[in-house]
Amino acid sequence: MASSMDVLQWLDALSAGQSAVLVAVGAGLLGLIVAFCLSGRGSSGERQKEEETRTAEVENVSSAEEGDEKKTEPQKKQWKVKNTGKPKKTVLPSHPLLAADFKGHTGAVLSLDFDSTGKYLVSCSEDRTIRLWYMKTLEEKEHKYSRKNVELDHATHIKFSPDGTAVLTFLSVANALQVFKIAKQKGSLTVSEPTIDFPKVDSSTVISMGIASTGKFVMTCTSTAFTIWTLRGEVLATVETKQTPNSCAIVSPCGKFIACSGMYVIHKLCRSPAVDYHNQSFLIAGFTPDVKIWEVEFSKGGDFHQVSRAMELKGHSAAVVSLSFNGDSQRMATASKDGTWKFWNTDVRYRLSEDPKLLTTGEIPETGSTAVAVAPDSRVVAISVDTSLFIFSSSSGDMMEKLVDVHGDVVSCLCWDPTSQYLVSAGDSDRHIRVWHNHSGRRVHLSEMKAELPKANSDAMKRRLQAQIEETEAFLQRVVSC
244-271 residue pLDDT tens? 788 899 999 999 999 999 865 444 333 3
pLDDT of 395 over the 70 cut: yes
CB 100 within 8 A of CB 143: yes
pTM over 0.85: no
Q: How confident is the model over 367-388, as a mean pLDDT?
A: 96
Which pLDDT score, from 0 to 100, does residue 61 have?
36
Cβ-based neighbours of 131, under 8 Å, separated by 6 or more: 104, 105, 122, 123, 124, 125, 145, 146, 147, 148
Q: How confident is the model over 400-426, as a mean pLDDT?
A: 95
Q: Which residues of 107-120 are buried (b: 16+ CB within 10 A; e: fewer)?
A: bbbbbbbbbeebeb
Residue whose C-alpha is closest to residue 230's, from 215, 241, 240: 215
pLDDT of 116 over the 80 cut: yes
How many Cα atoms sit within 13 Å of 378 on the Cβ side?
17
What's CA 5's distance to the chain center, in Å?
118
Q: How confident is the model over 148-154, as a mean pLDDT?
A: 91
The enclosing H or E element of 17 equals helix 2-70
Q: How confident is the model over 68-105, as pLDDT tens digits?
A: 444 343 333 333 333 334 445 667 888 889 999 999 89
CB 204 within 8 A of CB 272: no
CATH number of 215-363: 2.130.10.10
- Which residues make beta-bridge pairs with 157? 170
Which pLDDT score, from 0 to 100, does residue 32 have?
54
Q: How confident is the model over 176-187, as pLDDT tens digits?
A: 899 999 987 765
Which pLDDT score, from 0 to 100, does residue 200 have?
78
More confident residue, 26 or 417: 417
Residue whose C-alpha is closest to residue 446's, from 466, 423, 419: 466
pLDDT of 468 over the 80 cut: yes
